[in-house]
Structure 1
């Protein structure tokens, strides 16, 4: 069984934090900090543990925020010397976010300094929420930073719907202020940064589909393979929803004369096994067609209703009159992002965004 996520923050890590902070500030009470941070830790989940450590920092660092921020900055790794890094910086993000708003520029500079050693995407969001114009004016300058972690922070930290983090309602309503940041990073040399840009655009597409479809159309002509991959990933929600403009951006049109027959080879699936299915696709049109074939599984929820989740499957060019069979196995096993319930589930096949075939299967939790 996988290690629980909460154990990313553990007593040993807290002791390491105390060591690094004590090096930066010899009068820091590392023993008291460790005791406060680890009290009752076993019963806490990941973000609760981070908040407990954040509280311990507040109780043991100087009450003067600039002095505390200076200690934390000096406790970061430097010139081959170890320091605060990795998951130890999650509660530091929280500390800066909680206590640093009245020292806006100092706090943003600290978050920029720590992001190469973990990420500051969680910490900067309260600053964007508090004063969007002021925060984005600073963050926009990071798109040319020589450190790719800082450049990624410019796109990842401004995502309107960043998972695990506070939502940015202003940017959910109006994402236009962050579009120049995303444009500047479209051709970043680091895939790590480009994936962040794609994820931000995909966030925006959930609330403003036409905006993102138009954005992709403007930037796809003569695009490099890397940029094209970014724009395709940015369009994934739109493509799964069958957005006509998004489909057209990648050469897909509404399917014409397509016949699809779905067969489920495992009508009863025991949890932990695989759902097996296949589809026969025939192009009954007089012209070849480019097809994007996905499938959606409608999972049973706790209240007995069904909730769909779309999965990517296959892209193919099917000549006029041609027929092709495609086979797939889909694992039904424990994952951290879904709770499975027994009962009748449904599978649907989508061709160019349109439901073309469906069937049911039963899941047993044995």
Structure 2
């Protein structure tokens, strides 16, 4: 992703201030201008939060007037992109602070007007936390919008584990609250909407695999030509876990296979090198076997224990008596999302959710020269 100053840097903020100032009339955006000068070193989310607070400080007016200023600014097609994020955050904060039902409903409407310029998925989270039942009612109505961005917001804004989004505890505890929204959208004409629906259902799999499989099964039974692809994407985490119900829904049931391996090309390696993994899978059954083949790396943690991480190899159909040879290189290199520790790691092969073999290798972070 580009750096924060490329997305919400001085150029974008200066344009945002100009547009808001034109719409704000006699109100001077002095606090926002000052904040714009002090963004260096701040991450993208922090920039948005600081700017939103400054906008509210500069426009200490009743919610209806605040909303009118934003709508006047929206009349310009130049109000688009990442400059919309702090404005949408300010809208949700102003609507909630008003405390009234009318302001809340209009705040939700204003987010729907803003979201085609930049998704308001993060700004809608405080609205969900403030009045969950009413927010969900409105978002269910959004599923019938003519605008794909508004429909996507209904799904994306309610994801249990929305990236960069604040948690909504009630949704995390009871994902069924949002199933009506997903049911209304899984056959949507828009790929971006269907992708959001799949990601939402995949989020739920972190804590309610049963609900995910039930929902996916219902969609497959009453879907269209796009539904199988959506379901495959939605079940990706459960497939990696080897969940039998998820695998069965995708046609990967039990198979009579014999697995030889995995075998590693070395017993010890240094961080930064590649490990060659080989294995073979033979179908001993009388019918063709549909297989999803993964491998599991058991990484050493700081306390010496090991934690598994699943990686994909292939999806294939293996004829009776046929053998599939596997040769996979696994790089063990520094990445931002994982911290490696010295010690004995291990690798297993996973075929249709069943793990086979157990090969160990010693990872050395600081080799002695």
TM-score when scaled to structure 1? Answer: 0.89
Identify if the C-alpha distance between structure 1 residues 300 and 100 changes in structure 2 by more than 3 Å, giving closer, same or farther: farther
Identify if the C-alpha distance between structure 1 residues 128 and 222 changes in structure 2 by more than 3 Å, giving closer, same or farther: closer
Could you tell me which residue of structure 1 aligns to residue 189 of structure 2?
A: 189
Identify if the C-alpha distance between structure 1 residues 280 and 56 changes in structure 2 by more than 3 Å, giving closer, same or farther: same
Could you tell me which residue of structure 2 aligns to residue 82 of structure 1?
A: 78
Can you list the C-alpha shifts for 1:313-355, whole angstroms capped at 9, x where unaligned?
A: 2111222332111222334445443344444433322111111
Can you list the C-alpha shifts for 1:294-323, whole angstroms capped at 9, x where unaligned?
A: 122233444444332222221112223321
Q: Give the 5 Å matches for 1:25-104.
A: 25-39=24-38, 41-76=39-74, 78=76, 81-83=77-79, 85-101=80-96, 102=99, 103-104=103-104
1:163 to partner: Cα distance: 1.8
Q: Give the 5 Å matches for 1:244-283.
A: 244-265=244-265, 268-283=268-283
Are the aligned partners of 1:278 and 1:326 in contact in 2 as well (CA < 8 Å)? yes
Structure 2: runs of 5+ lacking an equivalent = none
SS in 1 for 2:74: coil
1:191 to partner: Cα distance: 0.9
Identify if the C-alpha distance between structure 1 residues 25 and 289 changes in structure 2 by more than 3 Å, giving closer, same or farther: same
Can you list the C-alpha shifts for 1:184-213, whole angstroms capped at 9, x where unaligned?
A: 111111111101001111112222211211
Matched, 1:318 2:318: yes
Partner Cα separation in structure 2 for residue 196 and residue 47 of structure 1? 21
Identify if the C-alpha distance between structure 1 residues 239 and 117 changes in structure 2 by more than 3 Å, giving closer, same or farther: same
Partner Cα separation in structure 2 for residue 212 and residue 125 of structure 1? 22
SS in 2 for 1:158: coil
Could you tell me which residue of structure 2 aligns to residue 10 of structure 1?
A: 9
1:7 to partner: Cα distance: 5.1
Identify if the C-alpha distance between structure 1 residues 222 and 331 changes in structure 2 by more than 3 Å, giving closer, same or farther: farther
1:168 to partner: Cα distance: 1.9
1:142 to partner: Cα distance: 0.9
SS in 2 for 1:162: coil
Can you list the C-alpha shifts for 1:204-248, whole angstroms capped at 9, x where unaligned?
A: 222221121122122213743411100111111222222222111
How many matched pairs? 361
Partner Cα separation in structure 1 for residue 185 and residue 114 of structure 2? 21
Partner Cα separation in structure 2 for residue 242 and residue 191 of structure 1? 27
Structure 1: runs of 5+ lacking an equivalent = none
Are the aligned partners of 1:259 and 1:284 in contact in 2 as well (CA < 8 Å)? no
Identify if the C-alpha distance between structure 1 residues 37 and 238 changes in structure 2 by more than 3 Å, giving closer, same or farther: same
Could you tell me which residue of structure 1 aligns to residue 347 of structure 2?
A: 347
Q: Give the 5 Å matches for 1:105-144.
A: 105-144=105-144
Can you list the C-alpha shifts for 1:239-277, whole angstroms capped at 9, x where unaligned?
A: 222222211111111233432311223655554554432
SS in 2 for 1:328: strand
Q: Give the 5 Å matches for 1:129-208.
A: 129-208=129-208
SS in 2 for 1:297: strand
Can you list the C-alpha shifts for 1:41-72, whole angstroms capped at 9, x where unaligned?
A: 32322322222112211221233233222222
Identify if the C-alpha distance between structure 1 residues 38 and 355 changes in structure 2 by more than 3 Å, giving closer, same or farther: farther
Partner Cα separation in structure 2 for residue 73 and residue 132 of structure 1? 25
SS in 1 for 2:310: strand
Root-mean-square deviation over aligned CA pairs? 2.4
Are the aligned partners of 1:19 and 1:30 in contact in 2 as well (CA < 8 Å)? no
Can you list the C-alpha shifts for 1:112-148, whole angstroms capped at 9, x where unaligned?
A: 1111111111111222222222111111111121111
SS in 2 for 1:116: coil
1:158 to partner: Cα distance: 1.1
Partner Cα separation in structure 2 for residue 3 and residue 363 of structure 1? 33
